[in-house]
Amino acid sequence: MTEPAKPPVDSILIIDFGSQVTQLIARRLRETGVYCEIHPFNRAAEAFAAMRPRGVIFSGGPASVTDEGSPRAPREVLEANVPILAICYGQQTLALQLGGKVEGGHAREFGRADVEIKEPSRLYEGVWEIGGRYPVWMSHGDRVTELPEGFRVVATSPNAPFAIAVDEARSRYTTMFHPEVVHTPDGGRLLANFVHNIVGLKSDWTMSAYRARMIDKVRAQVGKGRVICGLSGGVDSSVAAVLIHEAIGDQLTCIYVDHGLMRLNESEEVVTMFRDHYNIPLVHVDASEKFLGALEGQTDPEVKRKTIGRLFIETFEDEARKIGGAQFLAQGTLYPDVIESVSFSGGPSVVIKSHHNVGGLPERMNMQLVEPLRELFKDEVRALGRELGLPEKFVGRHPFPGPGLAIRLPGGVSREKLDILRQADAIYLDEIRKAGLYDKIWQAFAVLLPVQTVGVMGDGRTYEFVCALRAVTSVDGMTADFYPFEMDFIGRVATRIINEVRGINRVVYDVTSKPPGTIEWE
Q: Count the neighbouring beta carbons within 10 Å of the beta carbon of residue 201.
A: 25
User: Active site residue: 36, 88, 229, 467, which one?
Assistant: 88
* Amino acid type, 504: I
Rounded-to-integer distance, Cα 489 and Cα 428, Å: 10
Closest CA to 401 of 244, 253, 263, 229: 263
Ramachandran region, residue 408 (left: φ > 0; alpha: ψ -120 to 50; beta: rest): alpha
- Of 31, 37, 109, 180, the active-site residue reads 180
103 phi, psi to nearest 5 deg: -130, 150
C-alpha distance from residue 300 to each of 265, 278, 304, 407, 409 (Å): 27, 39, 6, 9, 11
Give catalytic status of residue 180 as yes or no: yes
Quote the Cα angle for 383-392-477, to 5°.
50
Query: Amino acid identity of 396?
Result: G
Alpha-carbon 67 to chain mean position: 31
Q: How far is CA 200 from the centre of its chain?
A: 27
- Active-site annotation holds for 88: yes
Between CA 197 and CA 414 the distance in angstroms is 58
Q: Is residue 96 within 8 Å of residue 68, measured between CB atoms?
A: no
Considering the candidates 178, 183, 245, 355, report the single residue annotated as catalytic. Answer: 178
User: How many helices (H) and strands (E) in the chain?
Assistant: 16, 20
For the chain, report the end-to-end CA distance as a whole number of angstroms.
28
| 146 Cβ contact list (under 8 Å, min separation 6) | 95, 100, 101
Which residues are catalytically annotated? 88, 178, 180
